[in-house]
Structure 1
């Protein structure tokens, strides 16, 4: 019997090759898209799960509100890790990182700029259970000037040699001994490190400063303890350690209760390790994280696309039902049971599904490299995993049964008497289910189109909005912090007539570059909660403002003609507003002195305001502009270069020549400022591109379904069309007749999709403090686009039916 089912199924599919191909292609595209998205989601959900005891690891975070500034930080004070373990029996182990990427590393003479470098305490091996291939986790990072490196880096610097015990030179001056080699961390880890330097050699980590937050701190809780119970003890912890320094900082009469009563806040909290990648977006993350919203969004898209493909499967099957109605009637008249017919049609459905899944696997294999480039992932299809193969086979059978169940029950329910008398009528009036499916398909398609347009409009807004500095035609030269004199390099660069300005500052107005924050108060006052303003505090040179194309609104820029500018500062407009200055020029501000990154609370520095710079965005447009001041000082770990020449290659050639003249043997690396600006929004760009791809797929698959329904209707109304033509109906009137019913459905789909899209768009744009306006035109454009594509699909089938010979339709009457 099974062999008979299989033979008939094959013959029927072969007889209707065109419809079978559409069925297979539609389902294959849907399954391939769903498979790729599923691989993406599974990787996103797998972050950090490879660590032993991952469910007991937590990161400490800080939330600070002070004088109108609000900071949510993924970093803590240096002493926090040690205090957590000594004060709380719930803590089994603790450790902290100090981010320090892009160090220069060499074995002998050739320097390499390594991105994934940082400091860590030896507790990293207890908290994160990183096993060493060589070395001892008990003491690998307990001594200064020691480090552990990944296996790939050991192979890079010591090919065919034993790396353990060898030395590397870091930043051209510090000699580090290799005390351990670890297996490269998986890509699904929320931090990436190839060189882990001992924290013991970092003086900053030994300071008892509870007001400076620079260390990513993690704890491993003992079994049976909860984060809620530990967090409940944090207020007392803050009061014990941070309270005295806040009192010293703000005045003897300040208590933590008074600090909070004034509307300010300093709170510590825990974030589970497994939540960091998808649920955390704080300042000073170890790496850029993703967002659980995107996981939900792409998961919904995968389900929608698969649902649309299955819907098309059912519609295409029922569209061919009239051609098989007599077959069903004859079979039933000859004694065939309904169950036999159900199995027959299910066999055809399963065959199509299996073939579609095989093709989908090939499509996914071919498309995955492109998706990896688009989404910056390294996904692969796990062909070698039995679980994947078994799941894939089961899913192909399940989808075949699910997608074929309705058509098989529908076809097998025909009454043989009515069928053989030609009384079968399956017009749109009895097609409420099919109409609902069309509405659902195009509702999702319109939603995805609106999403695509919204993301593109926001990206365009970001690129074209006034950001307060000129990002075009600026090259940022890296690796400049160890130059003996930046002036020599400047002079060499300025010999080229196409280069107009050169600065030396690591404080670039792009997220991820140098940042420093401290508090100021008006001279002549004692520092207090009421008069202190927390500001970004950047060290720049005389040429910084013109090189970055910033605008001085009031006063002047720094000048070499004024020796007093060593104690001068330039405020941004937001800082002037926060201090309440009506005429800021000449105003004097005080702040605690800073030495080696540590606040000196017993020493105060005083500065005079000489200028006000126009507000400029120095972080993503997701954040508000906060108070900022510029002060003359050294921070030359990068050199911004503004050029006017249209010959960019010649400019770069001169920069490289100048660099090699003043820094022989050092790597020549640069970034265009506009490229760095664009990378702040790489996730949005990826989202927009992925949206566009899947919106296109959804529309294509939906149009296949519409093609099926149009064919279904045309097939059932062949005689009606013939009579209308005999009575003088034109091709245009018939096309309109066949299309208007589906047009109504698409309009209804638009009416449902528009409010859903509006809510989703509003929710997404809430992430941005500065955002584009999404007017009604966007929704109309999405609806018109979907309607136009759908009408072209319907028009093809309608014109074909309308141009048919009426004799062929009526000769049996």
Structure 2
């Protein structure tokens, strides 16, 4: 019996090639989109899970709030890791990362290469994270101060082979012995380093619980509930934070640190949640957002549903061509159950063929998709157990789900009516109309969402962020100048086309250096007048080079030697201090007895030093040395020439060090990379969703037109024009599209408003977005059905009446 089902199914596919092509092509596209997005979603949820202790590993976060200003950071004080290990038996081990050195100059022959993926780590690194060693010491490779661990790719780059244990690596003029070579850290890790130096060489004032500069991870012993353990971290505040803070902040008890609007606490954050759920200051890399993952997952499901709806619509629409087959089978004794099995077999076979084509499309499109999504997903990722099970189940789920309605619809035809030609198989179907509305409502939602995303991106690009990001050249690796940064800056300022320059690692982009600090309004410090602030060391040319605006007071100047004890604050800081006119007022920082008094000499207009997702917080600029980067503002007409001359000056000062540069607007755009990527992917999949919906609409229009051929002939004989006939054939479909947009409007408005809520600064949601979506959907639908309606409307009525 089953063999008979297969034979009949194959014959129907072969004998109705156009119908089969529409079904298979539509389903293939839907499954292809579904599989690509599922590969993406699977990769996003796989971050850091390669670590054997991933489910028991947590990062220590710090939440600090003083003076109404909150700082949520991904870093912790240096002693907290060792303290938790020694004081709490629940802690199995810990490791700290120190990332303040964002690059090092590594020597390769006569060339110095600026490497950015560098970090300092504790010798316990390999007890926490799974980093397979391919050569050398696999247990304690970071125990010695002069040691270094490198990845396999760096071993090949600098030594030509992974067998380089014992070789000497020169970094910033210092010599390190390679003690281990590890496999390249997987791309699905929330950090990725090529050079790991020992923590023991970091020059730091150790033991300070009030300064947070280390990404710290702990492994809890099996069975320990991290949420319960979080409560014990309050004891750390009482036992260690309070003794160091009580004299500085004039505290009587540890409770004051978490009283009223103030907060000082630590909490554990699961390692496997960092990539999708964490967006704090001090992240080691730009994380993703779980909202994007759920959005793409919803798109995948909806596109697959659209493809399945196409199958259902096309199958039921084509039922007129099979009503006699059904009638004869019933007369010959075939029961309804057997007919249902027959139609379900046909739909399953169609799904299987579609899946094979979809797998081929995935293989062909994966390189392009990886480039679009900035991923390195392999075809072999489909062999993930859950994903493979989904792939194997897809044809049966689609075959059953999409084929169920057509099977029951066609198997219920009554033999007598069918053989008399009274099947009414293609009479108006409310259910089929609902399916068409669902398809185009989904398409409209995707169109509206895409427009909103790109409007927000355009808003980000054009909003006044308080500084001029254009034509600012940033040179990294300035440590190679070895104290000659100011000399280099002055030489470059003599180049035609260079307007100004500044030496500092603090820039108004989230990828630059950050330093949280606390300032007080009074010399006697307490929690009531303390404010958590971003505190940046800059030079006298910083504000001019970055194109910022002084709204009160003045800028730093070389003519005022007293500016070494001065501070420029932003408008947000002025509001936090509560001064009507802050110029000349004093603020204080430091720890007794070394209290530092700073005089406010200027107020700079608020500028967005983080992404537009966050409000502008208090900021203080002080004169100080910071040699992380050198930046220059260039003339727009002489950028290329100026860059070449700057490189010449660089070579003249350093000689063998790489000249690495970028522009500030590139760093600015990088902050919104996830949104831009989301927009591009949304455009592509929205287009594919519309294409799949149009395939079904085209098929329906074709069959509807065929069934109304005689009617059209009669109308033409009675004088109906071609335009009138096209209108009659199109109006029902266009009515459904309008209903679809009406359904899509409130849904898309709700979800996109929710997405825009992630931004402190956002674009408006204009009414015309819905009008554009309506016009686009109507135009696409009309163009799709017009191919067939125009053809039928222009038929000779004599031929139509003979049909």
Structure 1 residue aligned with 2:512:
513
Q: Kindly indicate whether residue 496 of structure 2 is the aligned counterpart of residue 497 of structure 1.
A: yes
Quick check: 29-38 or 783-792, which moved more?
Answer: 783-792
Check the 8 A contact 2:50/2:130 in 1, yes or no.
no
| Shift of residue 389, structure 1, vs aligned partner | 6.5
Alignment partners' CA distance in 1, 2:447 and 2:711: 37
Within a 5 Å distance, the mapping from 1:172-191 to structure 2 comes to 172=173, 174-191=174-191
Structure 2 residue aligned with 1:659:
650
Check the 8 A contact 1:102/1:113 in 2, yes or no.
yes
Alignment partners' CA distance in 2, 1:579 and 1:546: 25
Structure 1 residue aligned with 2:22:
22
> What SS does the aligned partner of 1:320 have?
helix
Within a 5 Å distance, the mapping from 1:335-346 to structure 2 comes to 335-346=333-344
> What SS does the aligned partner of 1:180 have?
strand
Structure 2 residue aligned with 1:778:
769
| Shift of residue 556, structure 1, vs aligned partner | 1.9
> Structure 1 residues 383 and 228, CA, compared in 2 at 3 Å: closer, same or farther?
closer
| Shift of residue 262, structure 1, vs aligned partner | 3.4
Long gaps (5+) in structure 1: 593-599
Within a 5 Å distance, the mapping from 1:543-582 to structure 2 comes to 543-582=541-580
Alignment partners' CA distance in 2, 1:588 and 1:394: 70
Alignment partners' CA distance in 1, 2:638 and 2:130: 52
> Structure 1 residues 207 and 798, CA, compared in 2 at 3 Å: closer, same or farther?
same
> Structure 1 residues 260 and 335, CA, compared in 2 at 3 Å: closer, same or farther?
closer
Structure 1 residue aligned with 2:194:
194
Structure 1 residue aligned with 2:736:
745
Within a 5 Å distance, the mapping from 1:518-529 to structure 2 comes to 518-522=517-521, 525-529=523-527
Structure 1 residue aligned with 2:677:
686
Deviation by residue 1:113-168 (Cα, 9 ceiling, x = unmatched) = 22221111122221224343333444322222322222222222222473212221
Structure 2 residue aligned with 1:94:
94
Within a 5 Å distance, the mapping from 1:129-528 to structure 2 comes to 129-160=130-161, 162-172=163-173, 174-204=174-204, 207-251=206-250, 253-382=251-380, 385=383, 392-429=391-428, 431-483=429-481, 484-522=483-521, 525-528=523-526
Quick check: 605-614 or 433-442, which moved more?
Answer: 605-614
Q: Kindly indicate whether residue 606 of structure 2 is the aligned counterpart of residue 615 of structure 1.
A: yes
| Shift of residue 730, structure 1, vs aligned partner | 2.4
Scaled by the length of structure 1, the TM-score of the pair is 0.94
Quick check: 115-124 or 384-393, which moved more?
Answer: 384-393
Quick check: 212-221 or 331-340, which moved more?
Answer: 331-340
> What SS does the aligned partner of 1:481 have?
helix
| Shift of residue 383, structure 1, vs aligned partner | 8.2
| Shift of residue 80, structure 1, vs aligned partner | 0.3
Check the 8 A contact 1:167/1:175 in 2, yes or no.
yes
Counterpart of 2:624 (choices 609, 628, 633) is: 633
Deviation by residue 1:742-795 (Cα, 9 ceiling, x = unmatched) = 222222222221111111111111111111111221122222211221122233
| Shift of residue 463, structure 1, vs aligned partner | 0.4
Alignment partners' CA distance in 2, 1:634 and 1:447: 52
Alignment partners' CA distance in 1, 2:276 and 2:698: 40
Check the 8 A contact 2:71/2:532 in 1, yes or no.
no
| Shift of residue 457, structure 1, vs aligned partner | 0.5
Alignment partners' CA distance in 1, 2:324 and 2:798: 22
Alignment partners' CA distance in 1, 2:532 and 2:397: 60
| Shift of residue 530, structure 1, vs aligned partner | 2.1
Check the 8 A contact 2:445/2:745 in 1, yes or no.
yes
Quick check: 280-289 or 439-448, which moved more?
Answer: 280-289
Q: Kindly indicate whether residue 103 of structure 2 is the aligned counterpart of residue 105 of structure 1.
A: no
Alignment partners' CA distance in 2, 1:241 and 1:70: 21
Quick check: 4-13 or 508-517, which moved more?
Answer: 4-13
Check the 8 A contact 1:149/1:178 in 2, yes or no.
yes
The root-mean-square deviation of aligned C-alpha atoms, in Å, is 2.2
Check the 8 A contact 1:426/1:716 in 2, yes or no.
no
| Shift of residue 561, structure 1, vs aligned partner | 1.8
| Shift of residue 208, structure 1, vs aligned partner | 1.3
> What SS does the aligned partner of 1:554 have?
strand
Structure 2 residue aligned with 1:63:
63
Check the 8 A contact 2:135/2:162 in 1, yes or no.
no
> What SS does the aligned partner of 2:402 have?
helix
| Shift of residue 336, structure 1, vs aligned partner | 4.2
Q: Kindly indicate whether residue 110 of structure 2 is the aligned counterpart of residue 119 of structure 1.
A: no
| Shift of residue 82, structure 1, vs aligned partner | 0.4
> Structure 1 residues 293 and 800, CA, compared in 2 at 3 Å: closer, same or farther?
same
| Shift of residue 555, structure 1, vs aligned partner | 2.0
Deviation by residue 1:643-697 (Cα, 9 ceiling, x = unmatched) = 1142432122111111111121111000111111101100000011111111111
Deviation by residue 1:82-141 (Cα, 9 ceiling, x = unmatched) = 000111111111121112432222255422222221111122221224343333444322
Check the 8 A contact 2:112/2:657 in 1, yes or no.
yes
Alignment partners' CA distance in 1, 2:579 and 2:6: 86
| Shift of residue 335, structure 1, vs aligned partner | 4.2
Alignment partners' CA distance in 1, 2:96 and 2:434: 56
| Shift of residue 5, structure 1, vs aligned partner | 4.6
| Shift of residue 67, structure 1, vs aligned partner | 0.6
Check the 8 A contact 2:9/2:346 in 1, yes or no.
yes
Check the 8 A contact 2:65/2:532 in 1, yes or no.
no
> What SS does the aligned partner of 2:600 have?
strand
Alignment partners' CA distance in 2, 1:327 and 1:138: 74
Alignment partners' CA distance in 2, 1:450 and 1:428: 33
> Structure 1 residues 258 and 125, CA, compared in 2 at 3 Å: closer, same or farther?
same
Deviation by residue 1:609-647 (Cα, 9 ceiling, x = unmatched) = 222211111110111111112222211221111111424
Long gaps (5+) in structure 2: none
> What SS does the aligned partner of 1:232 have?
helix
Alignment partners' CA distance in 2, 1:661 and 1:25: 62
> What SS does the aligned partner of 2:379 have?
coil
Alignment partners' CA distance in 1, 2:607 and 2:227: 40
Scaled by the length of structure 2, the TM-score of the pair is 0.95
Deviation by residue 1:178-233 (Cα, 9 ceiling, x = unmatched) = 222222222111211221111122232x6111111111111111122111221121
Alignment partners' CA distance in 2, 1:96 and 1:724: 82
Alignment partners' CA distance in 2, 1:519 and 1:394: 58
